[in-house]
Amino acid sequence: MKNILIIEDEKSIAELERDYLESYGFNVRIEGRGDIGLELALGGDFHLLILDVMLPKLDGFEICRQVRQTLNLPIIMVTAKKEDIDKIRGLGLGADDYMTKPFSPSELVARVKAHLARYERLTADKLAQNDFISIRGLHIDKPSRRVTIHGKEAALTSKEFELLLLLASHPNRVFEKEALFEKVWGLDSNGDAATVTVHIRRLREKIEHDPSNPQYIETIWGVGYRFKV
């Protein structure tokens, strides 16, 4: 069940919005003061915020600004004003939508559903993108722990995969050998920085066309290694 926070000081409007949303299966909380509403928004587990502009203690614009700095959730702003400048200001502060009173409660429900669905798609796409790394023919599939180079699968050991994933996840960042050993093998592991050198050599043999002239994992002499992009 999706949780929705309504920050609205007109009780009758807030309750009407709540009743319609609850009839469609949403869990709704109402708050009439802007300052308390901001605390709830920042500290609660809400999936969408319906935010009035004119509120006691703290206006909707400031709430929108502070929420957007911290949270990534849909924000629908509501106002009795019809001036475009308010709409532009609200959208500029990060609101996803803007509704002018009076409006149909069924329209509000439709917009809430649309924005929640859009955010779910964006979140799913982002997670999917984070599951894969593709750089110049090298493809890393994190969930399956598979690596292909120009379409041909490279058979990597567990540590080789973790080492490659660490470097490729931070392109152009230089890692000292000691830092790589600590992150991949752990502080309690037996071995030293020479272990990293051996695994880098084996890794290059499996993913580089010419291991002596690597195109992916570059040696930074006297320091360590980096993944070139």
> For residue 140, is it left (φ>0), alpha (ψ between -120 and 50) or beta?
beta
> pLDDT at residue 49 above 90?
yes
First-to-last alpha carbon distance for the chain, in angstroms, is 43
Domains assigned to the chain: 3-128 (3.40.50.2300), 132-227 (1.10.10.10)
Pairwise pLDDT comparison (104 vs 92), residue with the higher score: 104
Q: From CA 88, how far away is CA 103, in angstroms rounded?
A: 19
Report the pLDDT value the prediction gives residue 147, as an integer from 0 to 100: 95
pLDDT at 201 (0 to 100): 95
Tell me, rounded to whole angstroms, the distance of Cα 200 from its chain centroid. Answer: 31
- Which residue is associated with the tokens 């909380």? 29
* Predicted TM-score (pTM) of this structure: 0.56
pLDDT digits (tens, 9 = 90+) for 59-85: 989 999 999 888 888 999 998 776 667
Residue 86 has pLDDT above 80, yes or no: no
Q: Which residue has the tokens 């000292």?
A: 176
Q: Is the pLDDT assigned to residue 192 strictly greater than 80?
A: no
Q: Is the pLDDT of residue 189 over 60?
A: no
Q: What is the pLDDT of residue 211?
A: 93
Between 80 and 167, where is the model more confident?
A: 167
